[in-house]
Amino acid sequence: MEDEVELALQDFRERTREAQGYCFTSIGREFQAAAVQDLRELKARLGELKRRRAGVGNEDAANTLLSLEYLVEAIVGELQMWTALKDDRARQAWDHLVGAQVAAGTAIRAHTVALSLNAEAYAEKLELLQRMVFPFQAFMSVAVVVESAECSICGAEDDQCEHVKGRPYMGEMCGRRITKIREMREVSLILPPEEPADRRCRITSISDGDVMRDKLTWRAVGPVPEREVPEGSAATGSASPPGRDNGE
């Protein structure tokens, strides 16, 4: 590995070791906020070096640095989750955790350096955190028929280039931008053991029969919306918990 990249890796190890020491509920908020700031600076340095390596065509170094960037983002996400929880911002905390999970997974896919840094175990830890810190969540999912999409690397029609979605290319992950949707097929409720593609697409509040409650905090967030009863239907207007009537 190049000296410059080796130095960046060393820097990464030192900074993240320190930051991960703050990834606990009991640690003071000010330390966690300072660690986030510190990691953001580290990420900017890694990004700058990545661009330089990509500029000279060193793909392996660029992808290594991309992987480190994502790992930093994951730890930032975890720290932000803890601070958001302390600030009683449960929704943001959930989004930060999901962001951290996505970043950790992407880091592992970007380069094998992440595996040598034990990123798989870290990703598993984030999965556990979701189950231990937050209550059970239900998700929504849509199914669409896509007419055309383009490659995020070169902008060509999805099937007209050789970039494969989910692989890194010169320090950039390949994705797909949907450009035209032909039709929307369905919207469905995703319950365990099914898994949504995006955990941020979740049901945020449910009715307990009396009021609507936030799915994360269980606080009342408003009255139960009136249910529209089709004409001639024998259905009553009372709301029931969604687990009972939306099918599985």
Partner 1 sequence: MDGNLRARGCPHPYALDRPEWAPGCALVPPLKRPEGSCHYANLSKSQCPEAPLCAAHGKAERGLELRPRKRRSAPGFGTHAEGGRPVLEASPSGEVSVSEYVDVEERARELGCSIPTGIALLPRNLASARSKDELIHENTVSDMRKVLREAGIAETTLEAPGERFPFALERHFDWAAPIIFVAPLVLTENPQLVTVVLKAIADHVRQWLRGVPRSLRSVKLSVVVQEKPGRYKMIEYEGPADGINDLADLVRSAQWRTK
Q: Which spans of this chain sit near partner 1 (rule: CB under 8 A)?
A: 104-109, 114-115, 119-120, 123-124, 127, 135-136, 141-149, 158-159, 162-167, 178, 182, 185, 188, 190, 192-198, 201, 206, 208-209, 213, 218, 241-244
Least separation in angstroms between CB 105 and partner 1? 3
What is each CA distance from 60 to 12, 75, 110, 173, in whole angstroms?
A: 17, 23, 10, 13
Least separation in angstroms between CB 187 and partner 1? 10
Compute φ and ψ for 222, nearest 5 degrees. Answer: 160, 175
CA distance 221 to 201: 19
Nearer to partner 1, 35 or 213 (CB): 213
Collect contacts of 197-200 with beta carbons under 8 A, ≥24 apart. Answer: 197/141, 198/98, 198/139, 199/98, 199/101, 199/130, 199/137, 199/139, 200/94, 200/95, 200/98
Nearer to partner 1, 33 or 140 (CB): 140
CA distance 36 to 48: 18
CB 205 within 8 A of CB 215: yes
Nearer to partner 1, 56 or 187 (CB): 187
Nearer to partner 1, 105 or 171 (CB): 105
Least separation in angstroms between CB 244 and partner 1? 6
Nearer to partner 1, 27 or 149 (CB): 149
Least separation in angstroms between CB 27 and partner 1? 25
Least separation in angstroms between CB 159 and partner 1? 4
DSSP state for residue 161 in the 8-state scheme: S
Nearer to partner 1, 11 or 60 (CB): 60
Structure tokens at 14: 């030192």
Compute φ and ψ for 29, nearest 5 degrees. Answer: -55, -40
Least separation in angstroms between CB 116 and partner 1? 13
